[in-house]
């Protein structure tokens, strides 16, 4: 997965060629560690990326900053999906499809669940993306309420922990070991309870 050179954690100015190369190398190692389920330790990242420890800390002062950078493409993809959903014509289908995309993303990208669950963000960009997703999800739910297809008693404040419950259940009790299918099944049950016909 490629990352544009302008995506840096400490500055918005483009990086020099060698610094950009190091940044990409560090993020690639971070991505690999996350995919393997290995905790990010910046000294280990420096070794695996074949760069100095100071270089890693200059780009990513904490493991959380690197984790959030690894998660950023997934957050941006969900943001783009939410934006498209808000311009769609079927409030129920757009809400349902966005929530399905959200559970699929969290099952397929192990960087996303801890970033969503973190009470504090390391990077302003992460905060911006998470707030934007929450706000757009609220608008999608409001549209479904206004169209009379979602139970008006169920609020955004209700849905956020319920979505966390879906993901937790899929991780703890994956039917046949398939977390993705289980998450979609549990989400479908939740949506059946939300929907007004």
- Which range of residues forms the domain containing residue 31? 17-61
Count of domains for the chain: 2
Residues 83, 168 within the same domain: yes
**89-119 tens-digit pLDDT:** 999 999 999 999 999 999 999 999 999 999 9
Whether 47 and 94 share a structural domain: no
| pLDDT value at 14 more than 70 | no
- The Cα 76–Cα 82 span in angstroms is 10
> Structure pTM?
0.87
Tell me: do 50 and 91 sit in the same domain.
no
Of 37, 61, 85, the last residue of a domain is 61
Choosing from 26, 41, 61, the residue where a domain stops is 61
Give the span between the Cα atoms of 57 and 53, in whole angstroms. Answer: 6
| pLDDT tier for residue 165 given thresholds of 50, 70 and 90 | very high
Q: Taking residues 157-170, report their average pLDDT.
A: 94
1 pLDDT exceeds 80? Answer: no
Q: Which of 61, 95, 117 is the last residue of a domain?
A: 61
| pLDDT greater than 80 at residue 173 | yes
When pLDDT is cut at 50, 70 and 90, the band that residue 15 belongs to is low
């Amino acid at each position: 997965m490629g990352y544009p050179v302008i995506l840096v954690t400490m500055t918005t100015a483009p990086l020099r060629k060698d610094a950009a190369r190091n940044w990409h190398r560090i993020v690639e190692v971070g991505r690999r560690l996350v995919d393997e389920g290995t905790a990010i330790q910046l000294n280990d990242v420096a070794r695996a990326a074949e760069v100095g420890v100071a270089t890693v800390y200059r780009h990513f002062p904490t493991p959380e900053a690197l984790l959030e950078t690894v998660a950023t493409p997934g957050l941006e993809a969900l943001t783009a999906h939410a934006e498209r959903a808000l311009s769609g014509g079927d409030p129920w289908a757009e809400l349902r499809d966005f929530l399905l995309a959200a559970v699929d993303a969290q099952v397929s990208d192990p960087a996303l669940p801890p970033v969503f669950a973190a009470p504090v963000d390391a990077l302003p960009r992460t905060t911006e993306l998470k707030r934007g997703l929450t706000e757009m999800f609220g608008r999608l739910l409001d549209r479904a309420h206004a169209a009379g297809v979602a139970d008006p008693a169920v609020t955004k404040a209700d849905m956020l922990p319920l979505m966390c419950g879906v993901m937790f259940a899929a991780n703890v009790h994956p039917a046949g070991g398939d977390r993705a299918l289980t998450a979609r099944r549990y989400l479908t049950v939740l949506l059946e309870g939300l929907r007004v016909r």
